[in-house]
Structure 1
Amino acid sequence: MLTLLIIAVTAIVSWLAFQNGRLAERLILWPPAVKRGQVDRLLTHGFIHADLSHLFFNMLTLFFFGRLTEQVIESLAGPVVFVFFYVSAVVVAILPSYLRHRDDSRYRSLGASGAVAAMLFAAILIDPWMMIFIPIPVPGVLYGIGYVGWSWWADRNSQDGVNHNAHLSGAIYGVLFMLVMNPAVGPHFLAALMSPHF
């Protein structure tokens, strides 16, 4: 499964970056380096993480929701489109943050959270009533509302060092990608919303 391959690659690269500070510094999103031509950082930052808990949470979320998204996208358009979706989500999710901080030499960002949010919200479109355990079971659609609300508030008010803007951008991209790829997903989501199952 491609989701498992993405998890494995991300875990390996993150682990190597934990051991090698120079590698981490080369892969992290840092606006001055991007402006000097290292545009690959818009992608590579999504394959390194701040610590093991950051990596674990992102990869666990990807494991649970990426597989459903992968299954549906592969059935509609094939495995290449799924890989494109994930890779493009890493880039698209970070673009607003990069543009906001492009002249800030102190700004750095890393992690797969934006792409994981895209996968999560694509999965919510597919099955809005799937249960998310956080640690109590919550329907995906309610989790999504809370996630967007918290990310929007935290992006404006929190000083926790987390790139909440990338979460929002990733979530929006996940929804839009699914709707553009297959517009029937929209009516399917609305119909599923009217038929709760737990």
Structure 2
Amino acid sequence: MPITLIIIAITCVVSYLAFRNPRLMNDLILWPPAIARQREYYRLVTYGLVHADFGHLLFNMFTLFFFGRVMEGFFAQRLGSFGFVLFYIGGLVFSILPTYLKHRNDPNYRSLGASGAVSAVLFAFILLAPWQRILVLVVPMPAIVYAVLYTAYSIYMDRRGQGNVNHSAHLWGAAYGVIFTLLMDGRVLPYFLNQLVHPSF
């Protein structure tokens, strides 16, 4: 079974159980004081297994399903069978670290969801196929256009600092996806730049 489907299955099961069990949700969610004071470092990963609601879960897993399968093959060729698992877990940790450091002494802060790691997968995919059409809220657009809009929106919303969405994790996840992919194969960058100057719709 593809590793992408295994990640999706585990995330869906754990999220569903956490919807029905507040104690499980509290044990897995990113709560900075639990890491800083109680050294529960596992929360830097398990927060990505729980979601705020079914809509949040569905959006993340839908995105992961379509783009994860492509990137799974890419990383398997370079890191072995579990290369995509390594990449995905790294995305969870890397995307949330700035948030943790910022709120490590804030007992009222919590964060959850796989959005940071999913952003890493999506932006890694965009390096390989920048002009691939993707659906964004039923609107088709080239992946690179979505990347620009997504980044601008996330920066704007992160600076506003309003709402319950962790836009910082989205941005750091996207950055991680790009950096990790380029480190794995330096040929990706010239390929990406060449694709940019040769649009294909």
Could you tell me the TM-score, scaled by structure 1's length? 0.98
> 1:160 corresponds to which residue?
163
Question: Which letter maps to 2:88?
Answer: Y
**How many residues are matched?**
198
Question: Which letter maps to 2:42?
Answer: D
Q: Structure 2 unaligned segments of length 5 or more: list them.
A: none
Q: CA deviation at 1:79?
A: 2.1
Picking from 83, 86, 96, the partner of 1:84 is 86
How do 1:11-50 and structure 2 match up within 5 A?
11-35=12-36, 36-50=38-52
Q: Which moved more, 1:69-78 or 1:131-140?
A: 69-78
Q: How far apart are the structure 2 equivalents of 1:158 and 1:130?
A: 32
Q: How far apart are the structure 1 equivalents of 2:66 and 2:83?
A: 19
Q: Which moved more, 1:156-165 or 1:55-64?
A: 156-165
Q: CA deviation at 1:48?
A: 0.3
Q: Structure 1 unaligned segments of length 5 or more: list them.
A: none
Question: Which letter maps to 2:189?
Answer: G
Could you tell me the TM-score, scaled by structure 2's length? 0.96
Q: Deviations over 1:75-117 (max 9, x none)?
A: 2332222110001110110000010111111000000000000
Question: Which letter maps to 2:146?
Answer: Y
Note the aligned Cα RMSD (angstroms). 0.9
> 2:102 corresponds to which residue?
100
Matched, 1:137 2:140: yes
> 1:191 corresponds to which residue?
194
- SS of alignment partner, residue 40 of structure 2: coil
Question: Which letter maps to 2:17?
Answer: L
Aligned identity (percent) is 52
Q: CA deviation at 1:159?
A: 1.5
Q: How far apart are the structure 1 equivalents of 2:170 and 2:28?
A: 20
Hey, which bits of structure 1, 4+ residues long, moved more than 4 A?
none
Q: How far apart are the structure 2 equivalents of 1:194 and 1:6?
A: 35
Q: How far apart are the structure 1 equivalents of 2:5 and 2:191?
A: 27
